[in-house]
Amino acid sequence: MDIEMKQIAMPVQKRIALIAHDNMKQDLLDWTRKHIATLKQHKLFATGTTGHLLENKLQTPITKLISGPLGGDQQIGAMITEQKLDIIIFFWDPYEPMPHDPDVKALLRVAAVWNVAVACNRSTADFMISSPLLNELHPYKVPDYERYLEKRLGKTTG
């Protein structure tokens, strides 16, 4: 598929989603605790259980969506398509099959489509949190939806 891209900018204050599967929640809690001073400078979002856990343990406000198995991954995915998230820190469990595996896959797919930064493990999250881009206005490319529609409608109507 030939998708034209356009340049936009990630804001200085990033919108960061934090998500962890059950076996990875302790690891995400440790990581978040270690980087809380940096994370507090940004806007934090999370799926339901992860969000409640982090908010209680870290005493920092987090916008909480629905729990993953009940549709939280899809909510995160929808926010990505609306360009309301810049960074996803998703400690997903590579060992356990989940009832909502299709939702996880869909979330990772739309993140790739919209060129959103995704860390699926702690090493990548470490690189992202220490990147100078985290505190800068960051130009990056996303699909040019207006161009996409123009081309598709042009094709359909001849």
> Which residues are known catalytic residues?
73
**Cβ proximity to ligand 13P, 75 vs 129, nearer residue:** 75
- Would you say 100 is a known binding-site residue? yes
Nearest to 12 by CA among 79, 117, 86, 113: 86
Chain centroid, CA 98 distance in Å: 19
Q: In terms of DSSP H, where are the helices of the chain?
A: 25-34, 36-39, 48-58, 72-81, 101-113, 122-129, 145-157
To which residue do tokens 């996803």 refer? 88
Question: Is 68 marked as a binding-site residue?
Answer: yes
CB of 49 to ligand 13P, least distance (A): 3
Rg of the chain over all Cα atoms, to the nearest angstrom? 17
Residue 77 engages ligand 13P in binding (rule: CB under 6 A): no
**Residue 91 C-beta: closest distance to ligand 13P, Å:** 9
Binding ligand 13P by CB under 6 A: which of 16, 21, 24, 62? 21
Q: Which of residues 37-76 bind ligand 13P (CB under 6 A)?
A: 47-50, 67-69, 72-73
Instruction: Select the residue whose beta carbon is closest to ligand 13P and give its number.
Output: 68
Helix 48-58 × helix 25-34 angle, to 10°: 40
Environment class of 116 (CB within 10 Å of its CB; exposed 0-12, middle 13-18, buried 19+): buried
32 is in an annotated binding site: no
Binding site for ligand 13P (CB under 6 A): 19, 21, 47-50, 67-69, 72-73, 100, 104
Which residues are annotated as part of the binding site for substrate?
Answer: 21, 25, 47-50, 67-68, 100
Which residues are annotated as part of the binding site?
Answer: 21, 25, 47-50, 67-68, 100
